Each structure stands twice: as structure tokens, then as C-alpha cells.
């Protein structure tokens, strides 16, 4: 943060700086709003499910999609990481080893309308999020961080967010059904579709994992459904203009006082 005493050569009285800065912030205050969603949890934790990262590969799963209802986002969000939550104890919580390619898009179909041709559900803005090799003990929070700038999702169109996962190279089954994610069986916020070899396709069903986007966690606290997290978004462009003009007003007032 800029020190205004240093900015003006340290020659001003603190009371003058406070008064002038307050005037500037009053000018900018009506439009000083942070843009976008900084963190949000989608899904209501009411049960457990080991798809897609814990037991999916061992069950022969090769394709997984999850839709997120646009109605539960408060505004645009650039997704740079997402987190799933362990349900219960971490003792013997082993993930099936496998390779996961993850992408996000604005879904090409309405919420609850994913089709058996999975590529038809993927939007034109589909963006690779990252590739991950997972195995070993499931942590309390399983967090995936984007390999690049992430994916920007705008819920104002009403189209849901879609997470698309392709699973390859499954290894030896580590621990079948020994641990689970927190999952939502209400279907209001999240739904899943998937494909398993020997089982077939399952479309728009309950039990999708509770997922947080861009969250941070303190002391192992598991956040509730729809709870927004700490941190602040970048000020919108119009806000910067107002703030700069306010600081300019401070400088002008200072010069006037000196004259």
C-alpha cells in the first residue's frame, strides 16, 4: 500500500492526509467493488462417493463429467485450483493409481441434460486445466492446481460449468472402496455422468463430489455448501479509474494548501 506521507515528501501533517484521503475514498466508494467470485464451494455434503479420483480407475472408469449449476455462482470466476474433501478418517485412504487429464468449459447442454456422447456436452471454450498422476494416501483436501492460467467461467448466461476428465493408465488397485469424498445427493448444485468399461454409461446422476473452487483452508476446516472463502478479487477497471482520480484530488488539495 502506498504511504501518502512518503508520496508527498513527508512534509504534510497526518491530519491533512487523513482528511484528503477520506475525501478521495468517498468519491470512489460508490463504485469500489471487487469483481468476480474469489472462492466458492458447490455441493451439499450429505454422503460419500469415491468417484472420480479414489476408486473410479479401478472400476474401469475412463470418462467422467460433472456439471455445476450456474445459479449457485455469485459472479464470474477464473478457476485456478479446485479441491475435493475427504469424507471421514484418512486411515488407509488409498487412491487408485491413474493418469487424469482435466479440462473445463461452459457446458454445451443445460444442467441435468448431459448426453451419452460426452463430447457433445463440452462447450466451445473448453480449456485444458492440467494432467495429473495420482496414487497413494488420500489427503484431507485433494487440491488440483491449474498448469496454466486456469479457466474463466461466466455464469450469467445460465449455462452450467462442466468439468471433463479422461482417465488413462490405471495401475494396480490400491484399496477398493476404502475411502470416499464428501458428496452431494440432492442434485440441486452438482450432477455427474460417467463411463465404465463393462458397465456402460450413467448420465445425470446424484452423488457428485462436493468441490471448492479457489479456496483456502485454515486448521483443516471443511467449508459448508456455497460458503464463500477469504481473499479478494482484482478491482474492476472502473474502480481503478475512480481510485486514481481520488488520489489525484488529494494531490491537488495538498498543492492548494501549500499555495
Q: Tell me: pLDDT of 20 over 90.
A: no
CB 248 within 8 A of CB 28: no
CB 81 within 8 A of CB 143: yes
Q: Nearest 10 degrees: CA dihedral of 212, 218, 221, 222?
A: 0
| Least confident segment among 82-96, 150-164, 221-235 | 221-235
The reply to whether 2 falls in a domain is: no
The reply to whether 135 falls in a domain is: yes
Number of domains into which the chain is organized: 1
CB 28 within 8 A of CB 246: yes
The reply to whether 23 falls in a domain is: no
The reply to whether 197 falls in a domain is: yes
Span 147-176, average pLDDT:
93
The reply to whether 223 falls in a domain is: no
Neighbouring-strand partners of residue 98: 134
CB 130 within 8 A of CB 147: yes
The reply to whether 251 falls in a domain is: no
Q: Tell me: pLDDT of 193 over 80.
A: yes
As a whole number of angstroms, the distance between CA 174 and CA 94 comes to 6
Question: Between 215 and 4, where is the model more confident?
Answer: 215
Report the sign of the C-alpha dihedral through residues 89, 90, 92, 93, in that order. Answer: positive
pTM of the full structure: 0.71
pLDDT at 178: 84
Q: In which domain, by residue range, is 100 found? A: 44-213
The reply to whether 37 falls in a domain is: no
C-alpha cell belonging to residue 130: 492440467
The reply to whether 28 falls in a domain is: no
Q: Tell me: pLDDT of 245 over 50.
A: no
As a whole number of angstroms, the distance between CA 43 and CA 49 comes to 13
225-to-70, 103, 135, 140, 246 alpha-carbon distances in Å: 14, 23, 27, 17, 39
Report the sign of the C-alpha dihedral through residues 96, 102, 104, 105, in that order. Answer: negative
- Burial (CB < 10 A; 0-12, 13-18, 19+), residue 71, is exposed
Span 81-97, average pLDDT:
82
As a whole number of angstroms, the distance between CA 65 and CA 85 comes to 18
Q: Is the peptide bond before 52 cis (omega within 30 degrees of 0)?
A: yes
Amino acid at each position: 500500500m502506498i504511504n501518502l506521507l512518503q508520496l508527498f515528501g513527508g512534509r504534510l501533517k497526518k491530519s491533512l492526509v487523513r482528511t484528503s484521503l477520506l475525501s478521495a475514498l468517498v468519491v470512489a466508494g460508490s463504485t469500489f467493488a471487487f469483481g468476480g467470485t474469489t472462492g466458492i464451494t458447490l455441493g451439499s455434503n450429505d454422503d460419500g462417493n469415491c468417484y472420480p479420483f479414489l476408486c473410479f480407475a479401478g472400476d474401469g472408469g475412463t470418462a467422467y463429467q460433472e456439471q455445476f449449476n450456474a445459479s449457485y455462482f455469485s459472479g464470474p470466476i477464473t478457476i485456478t485450483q479446485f479441491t475435493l474433501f475427504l469424507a471421514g478418517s484418512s486411515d488407509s485412504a488409498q487412491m487408485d493409481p491413474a493418469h487424469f487429464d482435466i479440462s473445463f468449459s461452459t457446458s454445451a447442454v443445460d444442467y441435468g441434460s448431459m448426453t451419452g456422447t460426452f463430447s457433445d456436452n463440452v462447450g466451445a471454450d473448453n480449456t485444458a486445466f492440467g494432467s495429473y498422476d495420482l496414487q497413494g494416501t488420500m489427503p484431507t483436501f485433494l487440491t488440483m492446481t491449474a498448469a496454466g492460467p486456469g479457466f474463466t467461467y461466466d455464469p450469467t448466461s445460465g449455462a452450467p460449468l462442466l468439468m471433463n476428465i479422461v482417465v488413462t493408465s490405471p495401475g494396480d488397485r490400491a484399496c477398493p472402496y476404502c475411502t470416499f469424498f464428501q458428496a452431494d445427493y440432492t442434485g440441486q448444485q452438482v450432477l455427474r455422468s460417467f463411463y465404465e468399461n463393462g458397465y456402460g454409461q450413467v448420465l445425470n446422476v446424484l452423488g457428485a463430489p462436493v468441490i471448492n473452487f479457489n479456496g483456502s483452508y485454515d486448521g483443516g476446516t471443511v467449508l459448508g455448501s456455497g460458503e464463500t472463502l477469504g481473499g479478494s478479487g482484482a478491482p474492476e477497471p472502473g474502480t481503478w479509474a475512480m481510485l486514481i482520480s481520488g488520489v489525484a484530488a488529494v494531490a491537488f488539495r495538498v498543492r492548494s494548501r501549500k499555495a
